[in-house]
Amino acid sequence: MADNGDRMFCHACGGVWLRNDSGLTCPHCESDFTEIIEIPPENPPPERADEPRTPPNMNPWADHDPWAREGTPDSPGFGFMGGGSPGFAQRTYRSPDGRFTFSSTTFGGGYSPRQEAAHADPTVPMMVQSLDTIFNGLADTYRPLRRQDGKTTILLSQMSFQALTDYVLAMLAGRRPGAPPVENLAELMGAFRADYGPRPRGGRPGARTMIGPNPLSILSALLNLDRTGDAVYSQEELDRVISQLIDQNAHGGAPPPAAGTAIRSLPKKKVDQEMLGTDGKAECSICMDAVELGTEVTVLPCTHWFHYNCIEAWLSQHNTCPHCRRSINSTGGAGEGTRESPVVIQDSPDRRTSTGQGPSSGLTPRSGRSSSSGTRSSPSQSRESRGSRDSGSRRASRGEGHHGGFTSWVWSRLGGGG
Amino acid sequence: MGSQKRIAKELAELVETPPEGITVELADESNLYEWTVHMEGPDGSPYHVQRKIPGEALLPTGYPFKPPAVSFATKIYHPNVTTDEKGSMCLGMLRPDEWKPSSKISAVLQFARQLLAEPMPDDAVEGRIAEQYKNDRKRFEEIARDWTRQYATS
């Protein structure tokens, strides 16, 4: 394919576009968590050219009932992968600094790569072209196509081929009020492309902005019908799993601020002889001012104490002790430990100097551009372990740091980077 | 500002009792937040030359709640120092999520110097140099020494 014809995929919203048109940033959600979709060059040449119909030998559903497989998930040929000649898709994930690369290769029937060169029109995203084939297949199964009246509501979890068909038809109906039911699938797909693909130059009367579920999400949901247990059989599903893992580890940044009420409710006490230590002197380690006997200080659950003004300034940025990094929410929050069973902050294995003497104790040089969970404090690791439970709610909060998070995840699998 | 008081205090301590091989001064007497640092390459390291290696420590206005940045003014061939014109030294303790306000600049600088003696290739910013450090120490030291002679003494 031409260099400038790269297809892009957005991991945040699932959108696809051509790099030519919108560059590396997702035009749908403006996320920069995107990927250039690599397509192996050895795809078989297309057999279908300009025919509106898929030739029977190219149609995975020509003699196939999609529901017949419901009870036999282990049947060879997984879903849409089953129809075409074998192919593979290779994806590469790279951390922003380029230091870490993760590649995956998925083998399948080549339902998408097969479409790669099928159309001379480079402006149509690959996946849409794949949909073309799918819809042509649908046409063979459900002919004649009829439009259901009324609004079409699609729940991805209950997605069916009929619903997908209805959805597309409903879109068409919105475009051309009063138009007769679509009889020609090529026409349908042409309209679909027009909706999904890049806007024609100069505009088109009656063109509308597509609303509703991303058709690619629908396709993805369809593909996942064949998911069995923990195994994944499609690139989309693999992407989803990886995205989820990234989400769960997207906490490369500093701890979040503490609540004002939590800060104000911290206990205060006057400095006594015991707190001054053996040399009878002590200082607030934030302002480094000496603290005299009787000075009122604020004590954190970890027993470290500071001037109230000093610790307030820190806690309003990060909810951990500036000295030992233990969370100040000692009794709240899963994974943060409790008074009875506190989370012990341990130096990570790669803090080689932590046992050394002198000023370097406990200090670790660290690349500012990589992140390693190996040196995370326990609360972070706890978050990782419970990430699977609340990952669903996290998916909405994607953004910076995912690559780092993913890198962390891999680092941790590789032994904490030590 | 409380931060200025602490910075002045740290600076005074550093000037009064400088750690081994490290001297600091304000780059501009009217600006507490920009320090000029001179660091002696540790004995036996490829960075040990006649002159001290110049660098700087930049303190953010949010100091000590935000970490300072340490960099070398001359090019340093080291796995943990960027080879670009910034010469940033990447210390884990200076990362926003690792930084503790209780860390003193003195400790940061002493650790930076220690890092010159003992690079940490597993936390490198310059992966290629880190590889060389691990696999071809002799060549690494040659280049590092060359760079130091070439840039730090001119």
Q: Which of A309, A360, A369 sits opposite B125 (nearest CB)?
A: A369
Note the pLDDT of residue A20: 80
Contact A285 B102 (CB under 8 A): yes
Question: CB distance from B11 to chain A under 8 Å?
Answer: no
CB A112 within 8 A of CB A222: no
Closest-approach residue (CA) in chain B for A415: B122
Domain A256-345 top-level CATH class: alpha beta
**Confidence grade of residue A83 (pLDDT, cut at 50, 70, 90):** very low
Per-residue model confidence as pLDDT tens digits over A248-257: 655 456 678 8
Higher-confidence residue of A282 and A401: namely: A282
Place of tokens 């610790």: A311
Q: Where are the domains of chain A?
A: 38-248, 256-345
Cα dihedral sign for A349, A243, A115, A58?
positive
Note the pLDDT of residue B80: 94
Q: What tokens does A195 get?
A: 């909706």
Note the pLDDT of residue A231: 63
Q: Among residues of chain B, what percentage have pLDDT more than 90? A: 65
Structural domain range at position B108: 2-152
Note the pLDDT of residue A31: 82
Q: Among residues of chain A, what percentage have pLDDT more than 90? A: 1
Phi-psi region of B85 (alpha: psi -120 to 50; beta: other; left: phi over 0): alpha
- Residues near A275 by Cβ (< 8 Å), separated by ≥ 6? A282, A297, A305
Kindly tell me if the per-residue pLDDT of B28 is higher than 70: yes
What pairing do the DSSP bridges indicate for beta strands A101-108 and A296-299? unpaired
Higher-confidence residue of A401 and B143: namely: B143
Contact B92 A375 (CB under 8 A): yes
Q: What tokens does A203 get?
A: 């505009």
Note the pLDDT of residue A110: 39
User: Can you name the residues that pair with A87 across neighbouring β-strands?
Assistant: A108
Chain B CB contacts of A252 below 8 Å:
97
**Confidence grade of residue A133 (pLDDT, cut at 50, 70, 90):** low
CB A193 within 8 A of CB A127: no
DSSP state of A1: -
Higher-confidence residue of A38 and A297: namely: A297
Kindly tell me if the per-residue pLDDT of A390 is higher than 60: no
Q: Which of A286, A350, A363 sits opposite B93 (nearest CB)?
A: A363
Of the candidates A45, A113, A122, A119, the residue with the CA atom closest to the CA atom of residue A81: A113
CB B74 within 8 A of CB B53: yes
Note the pLDDT of residue A45: 47
Q: Which of A313, A350, A359 sits opposite B122 (nearest CB)?
A: A350
Lowest mean pLDDT among A26-30, A162-166, B10-14: A162-166
Chain B CB contacts of A350 below 8 Å:
122-123
Q: Among residues of chain A, what percentage have pLDDT more than 70? A: 28
Q: Which of B20, B93, B111, B116 would best serve as a mutation to test chain A binding (most A beta carbons within 10 A)?
A: B111
Contact A309 B2 (CB under 8 A): yes
Higher-confidence residue of A265 and A103: namely: A265
**Confidence grade of residue A128 (pLDDT, cut at 50, 70, 90):** low
Query: What is each CA distance from B120 to A346, A418, B20, B54, B131, in whole angstroms?
Result: 20, 10, 21, 21, 11
Kindly tell me if the per-residue pLDDT of A1 is higher than 50: no
Note the pLDDT of residue A166: 62
Report, as residue numbers or ranges, the catalytic residues of B.
90
Lowest mean pLDDT among A10-14, A142-146, B61-65: A142-146
* Chain A residue set in contact with B, beta carbons under 8 Å: 99, 252-255, 285-289, 309-310, 313-314, 317, 322-323, 325, 350, 352-353, 358-360, 363-370, 372, 375, 417-418
Chain-wide mean pLDDT for chain B?
Answer: 90
**CATH code for the domain of B50:** 3.10.110.10
| Other beta carbons within 10 Å of A220 | 20
| Other beta carbons within 10 Å of A23 | 13
Contact A368 B95 (CB under 8 A): yes
Average pLDDT (A95-118) is 47
Kindly tell me if the per-residue pLDDT of B133 is higher than 90: yes
Kindly tell me if the per-residue pLDDT of A118 is higher than 50: no
For residue A127, give the H/E element and its range: helix A126-141
Chain B CB contacts of A366 below 8 Å:
90-95, 98, 123
Length, in residues, of chain A: 418
Lowest mean pLDDT among A3-17, A41-55, A148-162, A199-213: A148-162
Kindly tell me if the per-residue pLDDT of B10 is higher than 50: yes
Closest-approach residue (CA) in chain B for A288: B6
* Total number of domains in chain B: 1
B100 class by beta-carbon count within 10 Å (0-12 exposed, 13-18 middle, 19+ buried): buried
